[in-house]
Amino acid sequence: MNECSTVGSEQQAVSSEGGPPRKKFARRMPVPLEELPKDMWLVEHVAKALGRSESWVYKRVAEGVLPHTKRTGGLVFIPAHVMTWLTAEDDSPKASRRTTRAKSARSRA
């Protein structure tokens, strides 16, 4: 069995197998939209609104799936576009890896 001991905001999971302890980090919680700017968001605002890390936001921008614009050398997000994207992602059926692999194998043949 695993036990946890709290150290600051991190938790240390103590393994019963005698291995080194694993760190468990607290899960990020989305910030209420009322606490964020109304007109434009930066990367940190999107991360807070979605309860994700800033690196997660940068990855989605690099993949071209998160709507954004570049202004003055930085990324800017329109809150309405981000929320529309988020609801569209929630409604879309996600294909399993097996289905995706089968389709790509058929297209190669």
pLDDT above 90: residue 105: no
Is 76 within 8 Å of 69 (Cβ atoms)? yes
Q: Which residue has the higher pLDDT, 26 or 5?
A: 26
| High-pLDDT (> 90) share of the chain, % | 39
Predicted local confidence at residue 42, as pLDDT = 93
pLDDT in tens, 91-102: 655 544 444 555
Mean pLDDT of 29-58: 92
Q: Dihedral sign, CA of 57, 58, 63, 68?
A: positive
pLDDT in tens, 51-93: 999 999 999 999 999 999 998 889 999 999 999 998 887 665 5
State the average pLDDT for the chain: 76
List, as one string, the DSSP characters of 23-63.
EEEPPP-PPPGGGS-SS-B-HHHHHHHHT--HHHHHHHHHH
For the chain, the 3-state helix, strand and coil shares in percent, each to the nearest 5, are 40, 20, 40
